[in-house]
Homo-oligomer: A and B are copies of this chain.
Amino acid sequence: MTGPTDKVDVEAQARRAEEFRSLHRGRILVLPNAWDVPSARVFEDAGFPAVATSSAGVMVSLGHRDGEGIGIQNYVSAVKRIASALSVPLSADVVGGFGDSPSEAASSVKAVITAGAIGINIEDFVHQTKKLLPVRRQVAKLEALVALKDSMKIPFVINARTDALRFGTGDDRAKLEEAITRGRAYRDAGVDCVYPMGLTEPAAISEYVEALSFPVNVMVRVGLPPIGELGRLGVTRVSFGPSASYAAMGLLARASREVLDKGTYQTLLEGAISFDQLNELATKRR
């Protein structure tokens, strides 16, 4: 666990944060979300210029449901393990900041950045109630993070997620408008990117990007247009969300059915990596 005595190499972290920040300019950034060390390292080996955590993936992997129940200390330890094994920048999801107040959120983000991340995602709803936080309260949290960026002298990338499309009130149109209103408020609070969870329709994506004139993050899910089209729609970054975990668990379920029903191992063996390759994924690339 990253403790208060942990020292950050501010210059190295600042350089890495700038490296990650620069990936948000130019070509669309495709950001794969990992759940543990080897899943992150596979993404790095595949050629992604940066990697993110999936909070749901990390938490479930460690026996906690998505949310803040894992506790900030366990979560930061996981971020530190992953960051320590990567040579590319790591962005970490911090759920709602592990706390209600701006100062708690800032303290959580500080721990995550100290652990090696150089970007964060933060949500605007409460997991237990599935209710959106009032915009002003979320803006206060975001302002605390912007201030933290200055005080740490590490220009980490703040990706402000809104769940208005899921937990807003009214019909789809009203929810999209709420997501736009929140996106603008978060943008004006000084974040670097806005992430409307659940935005998949090309027309809605286009409207959202135009309404904000600001970097927008979308997540891979059924119905999301291919990367090329997302680029044409003006999307700045597309992240996997927990889909790598969903895919891996689906694979294990299929492999199990094959073994139990047919007594064969094709799903387990086909396209698998080797023992030596797995072992190499435990630590930094040589």
Contact = CB atoms under 8 A, between A and B. Distances in A.
A246 B222 contact: no
A281 B253 CA distance: 12
Q: Which of A65, A85, A249, A273 has the most CB of B within 10 A?
A: A249
A94 B269 CA distance: 24
Given A61-B37, A226-B264, A251 B249 contact: no
Interface in A70-98: 81-82, 84-85
Contact of A39 (B42, B64, B252): B252
Contacts of A275: 56, 66, 242, 246
A255 B260 contact: no
A20 interface: no
A233 to B, nearest CB: 13
A128 interface: no
For this chain, the copies found in one complex come to 2
A152 interface: no
B46 A260 contact: yes
B42 A259 contact: no
A249 B251 CA distance: 11
B32 A253 contact: no
A198 to B, nearest CB: 11
Nearest to A222: B269
Interface in A256-286: 256-257, 259-260, 262-265, 267-275, 277-279, 281-283
Size bin of chain A's contact surface: 35 or more
A243 B256 contact: no
A253 B267 CA distance: 15
Nearest to A229: B263
Contact of A244 (B38, B43, B268): B268
A243 B226 contact: no
Given A46-B256, A220-B269, A281-B60, A249 B38 contact: yes
Nearest to A223: B269
Interface string A215-243: 00000111010111000000000001011
A71 to B, nearest CB: 13
A250 B264 contact: no
Contacts of A45: 253
19 contacts: A36-B61, A37-B62, A38-B245, A38-B249, A39-B248, A42-B249, A42-B256, A48-B260, A63-B282, A66-B278, A226-B262, A246-B273, A246-B274, A247-B267, A247-B270, A249-B278, A249-B281, A251-B251, A253-B273
